[in-house]
Amino acid sequence: MNQYLDIKPEVREALAAGKPVVALESTIISHGMPYPQNVETALNVEKIIREHGAVPATIAIIGGRLKAGLTPEEIEYFGKKGTTIAKASRRDLAVLCARGEDGATTVTTTMIIAHMAGISFFATGGIGGVHRGAEKTMDISADLEELARTPVMVICAGAKAILDLRLTLEYLETHGVPVLGYGTEELPAFYSRHSGLKVDYRVDSPEELAEAFCVQKELGLGGGMLVTNPIPEAYAMDGTAIDRAIDQAVREAEKQGVRGKEITPFLLARVKDLTGGDSLESNIRLVYNNAALAAETAKAYQGVNG
């Protein structure tokens, strides 16, 4: 085991017994929403995973230790510290561990630490991708590279709608990452169910997802698999309205010179304000939906993998 990795006893026992485990990121706690709503949401996601027969493993870096599974007290700690905790991508892990500092894991680092711990399934809200205007800024999320190299299935509601979804799909195709639509042939657009873009394959059951992932591993192809799970209809937002809010937020970011790690939190916060908080409620509900599917898929995988 990696000397910097701590696996929560509940998670360690589940992995040793061959029980399903689902990883969760911690950036959604520290940077995704205000306290105490962030803590309440994180605990609810863990509860949903347990209700669907799997063990949750929220991933984070605390005091330079890579954590696969947090206690309620550690989740509370993260929620209270909020945005003062550094967002940790692949490039940050070594320095944060060496300095004994905290880090909130993105999709990238959650995948890395989950794989270290032996966890193959990860539920999140939306992945990062190719940012609008990337032909000038070269702003492309490390999440896409990680999906190409780390064998973890990521269940999400698509790439975040603030991104260039068409270029994100092109980038994933170039890097050989399968993009599966759960119950749909169309790429979900995070807050809304429709983007007008097609995924690689439609898949209609957790068992089908588990079988595909099992075969990918058996073939030795490497890399992960992306499952895009549309937000429930009741919580979906009107695509035209959300696009207007995103366009305005992007213009404000450009005017204020917001770049790099700060761009996604800035845009999500502005979209929340511009939609009167509706986007935050949608965000929470799509995470719950993804957690349930991830747990069911992890369970199905245990049956397929024997």
At 193, give phi and psi (nearest 5°). -90, -10
| 151 and 195 assigned to the same domain | yes
| 145 and 288 assigned to the same domain | yes
Catalytic residue among 25, 46, 76, 296: 25
Domain enclosing residue 65, as ranges: 1-119
Last residue of a domain, one of 62, 84, 119: 119
Q: What pLDDT score was predicted for residue 58?
A: 98
19 flagged as catalytic: no
Residue 213, number of CB atoms within 10 A of its CB = 26
| 147 and 214 assigned to the same domain | yes
Last residue of a domain, one of 119, 152, 170: 119
Examine residue 3 and state whether it is found in any structural domain, yes or no: yes
Length of the chain: 306
| 173 and 288 assigned to the same domain | yes
pLDDT in tens, the chain (306 residues): 589 999 999 999 999 999 999 999 999 999 888 899 999 999 999 999 999 999 999 999 999 999 999 999 999 999 999 999 999 999 999 999 999 999 999 999 999 999 999 999 999 999 988 977 777 778 889 999 999 999 999 999 998 777 889 999 999 999 999 999 999 999 998 888 988 999 999 999 999 999 999 999 999 999 999 999 999 999 988 777 777 887 788 788 878 888 766 777 787 778 777 776 667 788 899 999 999 999 999 999 998 876
Examine residue 290 and state whether it is found in any structural domain, yes or no: yes
| 257 and 169 assigned to the same domain | yes
Examine residue 124 and state whether it is found in any structural domain, yes or no: no
| 169 and 76 assigned to the same domain | no
Peptide bond before residue 9 is cis, with ω within 30 degrees of 0: no
* 3-class secondary structure, 103: strand
Examine residue 126 and state whether it is found in any structural domain, yes or no: no
Report how many domains make up the chain: 2
Cα distance between the two ends of the chain: 23
Examine residue 82 and state whether it is found in any structural domain, yes or no: yes
Distance, in Å, from the CA atom of 149 to the CA atom of 49, rounded to the nearest integer, reads: 26
Catalytic residue among 87, 160, 272, 299: 160
| 57 and 137 assigned to the same domain | no
Last residue of a domain, one of 64, 87, 119: 119
| 108 and 142 assigned to the same domain | no
Examine residue 125 and state whether it is found in any structural domain, yes or no: no
| 186 and 269 assigned to the same domain | yes
25 flagged as catalytic: yes
What is the CATH classification number for the domain harbouring 233? Answer: 3.40.1790.10
| 259 and 293 assigned to the same domain | yes
| 135 and 241 assigned to the same domain | yes
The pTM assigned to this predicted structure is 0.92
Examine residue 306 and state whether it is found in any structural domain, yes or no: yes
| 292 and 204 assigned to the same domain | yes
* 3-class secondary structure, 30: helix
Examine residue 255 and state whether it is found in any structural domain, yes or no: yes
Per the listing, tokens 């937020």 go with 249
> Which residue blocks in the chain are alpha helix, DSSP H?
9-16, 27-30, 37-51, 72-81, 93-99, 107-117, 134-137, 142-149, 165-174, 206-218, 239-256, 263-274, 278-305
